[in-house]
Structure 1
Amino acid sequence: MHALTHTGEKPYQCAECGKAFTQQRNYKYHMSVHAGTHEFAAACPECGKVFNNRGYLSSHMKIHRNRREYACAECGRRFNQRVAYTTHKRIHTGERPHACSLCDKAFTRKMLLNQHMRTHTGEKPFNCEVCGKRFADRSNMMLHQRLHSGIRPYSCGECAKAFTKKHHLKAHMSCHTGLRPHACDRCGARFSQSSNMRTHRKKCTAPGPPRGAYLL
């Protein structure tokens, strides 16, 4: 079973959707999702998150018990789970063991590599239940669904406006602070949002800086 993590072989394939798995228990749980039984599921009593293995659930429960057993020798940060601790250490070592076979990019986590591979394959396995729009990763789908639900978790402390995404709130705050961090490299005009600067730059007729100016 461990050797399959090196070879990438996934011998258990779902006949319904084509998704493949390295471990039989994950395959069986996946099939139970199609069947609607979730027969191998175990739910966290604290937050309701569902796991396909009670060992995973036990590891997850440390988050709620606030047991941070693993400490980083470099920065002192502590972790509940060994896998999170091991991944964190790669920030200090620079190790990126998960390399893309189609380009020169590499990642600290296998999940990030799997997400990246979809930029090559065009796969979009997550779809919005409301409008059917498809996404390459779950996080973008969840953000999109806020458009339908009306949930805006990021609220401005200065006014009554709220936003679906954190970076939208950050851009909005410039209205109150007056900051304009984005500058046109042709004419020097400054903008509070990068999107406005890019729109301006497409129409800007001012000559660009002399060649090599940025090397000074």
Structure 2
Amino acid sequence: MDPLMMTDINGQTSYMCVLDNFCTITREKYDDHVKTAHMGEKEMYCTQCDKRFFDRSEYKMHMVKHAQDESQWKCPECETKFTTERSRTRHIKAVHWGQKNHVCFQCAKAFYSKGELKNHSYSHTGNYPFACKVCDFKTSNATHLKKHKRKHTGEKPWECEHCDFATSARSNLNRHMMTHTGDKRFKCDQCTYKTVSASGLKSHQRIHTGEKPYDCSDCEYKSAFSSNLLAHRKTKHGVTGPIITSTSKSGLPNTLSNL
């Protein structure tokens, strides 16, 4: 389907879709729009570089290339793999060397990068610049807002090449892929529990510590797990929408949803 082409006074050409008025300055983005919005084709995103594919065979070949490239940049300390030497160096400095030179002048908390410090600063002002138009979710990061919106749209662009698993976040897919490799590197020091993610281990350890960070705003109920709080809110109070339960260590709100 050919676009409606328009040229402005500066000579810039734009491509407009005649079916829904979608407009872009690149033909590639226009073609992608037609395929996904009007031809029913499904986009597949690379879990490493965000490159998009419509052909599954091309997608799989691309992922194999990343798997080969990753073997070059393995962290010598924890064997985490990276696609570039720069990302590996950043990981080593921040995680293993503890290099955090950017300090918050209000609470003295230190961060590896200026970007991390800037995001943290919103926790003191409470003025989060990116807000969801559907619910009360707010964040200091545009990417986090984009991921959150998928809870409302149901979009799950990240697909496993080995099974039918699909998710709205690339990090979830990365953790899921470990279930196929059996790589459960995070181990509990008090029992035999193992998991593929640090967050999963942290959540599990609440069983041993008795910590219950999720509080119900309508009664005295507390839980160690967000899923239990959501179930409680739904059955006891009839609440099914997103809720903010607590504040994370970074100062950003923890928003829970059963959408």
Structure in which a larger fraction of residues adopt strand: 2
The answer to whether the 8 A contact 2:130-2:138 is kept is: yes
- In 2, Cα distance between the equivalents of 1:114 and 1:145? 22
**Which secondary structure does the structure 1 equivalent of 2:150 belong to?**
helix
The structural deviation recorded for 1:20 is 1.2
The structural deviation recorded for 1:22 is 3.3
The structural deviation recorded for 1:100 is 1.0
Moved more, 14-23 or 38-47: 38-47
- In 2, Cα distance between the equivalents of 1:120 and 1:26? 24
Shift of the 77–134 alpha-carbon distance from structure 1 to 2, 3 Å rule, reads: closer
The one-character-per-residue Cα deviations of 1:102-124 (angstroms, maximum 9, x if unpaired) are 11222111111112212222221
The structural deviation recorded for 1:166 is 5.6
Give the match for residue 119 of structure 1: 179
Give the match for residue 200 of structure 1: none
- In 1, Cα distance between the equivalents of 2:231 and 2:135? 31
Shift of the 128–43 alpha-carbon distance from structure 1 to 2, 3 Å rule, reads: farther
What amino acid does structure 2 have at the position aligned with 1:27?
Answer: R
Give the match for residue 194 of structure 1: none
- In 1, Cα distance between the equivalents of 2:76 and 2:210? 36
Shift of the 52–128 alpha-carbon distance from structure 1 to 2, 3 Å rule, reads: farther
**1:61-210 to 2 correspondences below 5 Å:** 61-74=121-134, 77-131=137-191, 133-153=193-213, 164-165=224-225
**More relative contact order, 1 or 2 (CA 8 Å, 6+ apart):** 2
Moved more, 74-83 or 93-102: 74-83
Shift of the 85–137 alpha-carbon distance from structure 1 to 2, 3 Å rule, reads: same
The structural deviation recorded for 1:154 is 6.1
The answer to whether the 8 A contact 2:74-2:82 is kept is: yes
Corresponding residue pairs, total: 169
Question: TM-score if structure 2 supplies the norm length?
Answer: 0.49
Question: TM-score if structure 1 supplies the norm length?
Answer: 0.57
- Residue number among 73, 83, 89 corresponding to 1:12 in the alignment: 73
- In 1, Cα distance between the equivalents of 2:181 and 2:192? 20
**Which secondary structure does the structure 1 equivalent of 2:91 belong to?**
helix
The one-character-per-residue Cα deviations of 1:144-195 (angstroms, maximum 9, x if unpaired) are 323443434468967xx9764466689999xxx8xxxxxxxxxxxxxxxxxx
Shift of the 49–140 alpha-carbon distance from structure 1 to 2, 3 Å rule, reads: farther
Shift of the 96–167 alpha-carbon distance from structure 1 to 2, 3 Å rule, reads: closer
The structural deviation recorded for 1:5 is 4.0
- In 1, Cα distance between the equivalents of 2:215 and 2:126? 28
RMSD of aligned residue pairs (Cα, Å) = 3.9
The one-character-per-residue Cα deviations of 1:116-142 (angstroms, maximum 9, x if unpaired) are 212222221212244564222223311
> Structure 1 regions of 5+ residues with no counterpart?
178-216
The answer to whether the 8 A contact 2:94-2:112 is kept is: no
- Residue number among 81, 87, 93 corresponding to 1:26 in the alignment: 87
Give the match for residue 204 of structure 1: none
The answer to whether the 8 A contact 2:187-2:193 is kept is: yes
Shift of the 146–47 alpha-carbon distance from structure 1 to 2, 3 Å rule, reads: farther
Shift of the 13–38 alpha-carbon distance from structure 1 to 2, 3 Å rule, reads: same
What amino acid does structure 2 have at the position aligned with 1:82?
Answer: A
